[in-house]
Amino acid sequence: MRKPVARPLELRACALQCLLHTDPTVKTAAVAAMAQAHRDGATVLGSGAALATEHTIPGRPPRPALVAPRLVGRRSMVTLEGRAMLIHALAHIEFNAMNLALDALWRFPGMPEAYYADWLRVAAEEATHFAMLAAHLGVLGYGYGDFPAHDSLWEMVEKTRGDPLARMALVPRTLEARGLDAIPPLRAKLAQAGDMAAAAILDIIFRDEIGHVEIGNRWYRHLCEQRSLDPRAAYDALALRYEAPVLKGPFNIEARRLAGFTEAELAYFR
């Protein structure tokens, strides 16, 4: 008797299901399984029709409590709790980054297959980042959800849900690119405080984030070309329309160059 042939996993539908999971451990495991299935050739993109859901996006655990950025609290490197607060804040960023990659994967139909493969890669790497930071929080005696967090990154994801051009412009190449500037000094502070395990995790995150921002840059330019738009003028219009935060230095010019910003764009950051 023949064994039934397993149906291939529909990638966009699976990404939506991952996005809806509320338990971070379940979510990260589901993303890892989806990425492995893709590597094994056991996925298909799906019909390309727009998916829909009545559930709240993204799925989140009951904690952490979400507060305004000014209420998150100070993170002194002098105390164990202060370092834990910083690691918690980074873990929350990576949790949101995993969700935004899943959202980019499922929400926008009609993109080239390489787009979905790119955002699957981002989701899998962000899931790994979150898992590493959450595990290190445990070593410090804390867990994800023990401190309040803010939701600025996801607010822009929500604002740009109707247009992949706006999403690429204002999330990976604006908000996530700020991590290229922020991670090296944070890494230095953690190392100075003697937390070399956390510093090593940030080395991995920094390396991967350069690639994630490059993906955002590449697909932003693809969509600009498709719509016959000048990338710089389009960016300025989108930043104004969606009230993107004003970028403040210092900027990591070399990391931004590696992430695909043009020399003309880098001139703005000098």
What is the full DSSP assignment across 21-89?
Answer: --SHHHHHHHHHHHHHHHHTT-EE----PPP---S-SS---S-SPB--GGGS----TTSHHHHHHHHHH
Residue 144 in any domain: the answer is yes
Residue 7 in any domain: the answer is no
Closest CA to 93 of 43, 37, 156: 156
Residue 148 in any domain: the answer is yes
Residue 95 in any domain: the answer is yes
Give per-residue pLDDT as tens, 126-160: 999 999 999 999 999 999 999 999 888 899 999 99
Domain of 250 in residue numbering reads as 77-269
Paired strand residues for 10:
44
Residue 41 in any domain: the answer is no
Residue 124 in any domain: the answer is yes
Give per-residue pLDDT as tens, 83-133: 999 999 999 999 999 999 999 999 999 999 999 999 999 999 999 999 999
Residue 154 in any domain: the answer is yes
Please give the tally of structural domains in the chain. Answer: 1
Specify the CATH number for the domain of residue 168: 1.20.1260
Task: Please give the residue that has the higher pLDDT: either 151 or 64.
Answer: 64
What is the full DSSP assignment across 134-194?
Answer: HHHHHHTT--TTSS-B--HHHHHHHHTTT-HHHHHHHIIIIIITHHHHHHHHHHHHHHHTT
Give per-residue pLDDT as tens, 205-236: 999 999 999 999 999 999 999 999 999 999 99
Paired strand residues for 9:
43
Task: Please give the residue that has the higher pLDDT: either 152 or 49.
Answer: 152
- Whether the CB-CB separation of 251 and 185 falls below 8 Å is answered with no
pTM of the model: 0.93
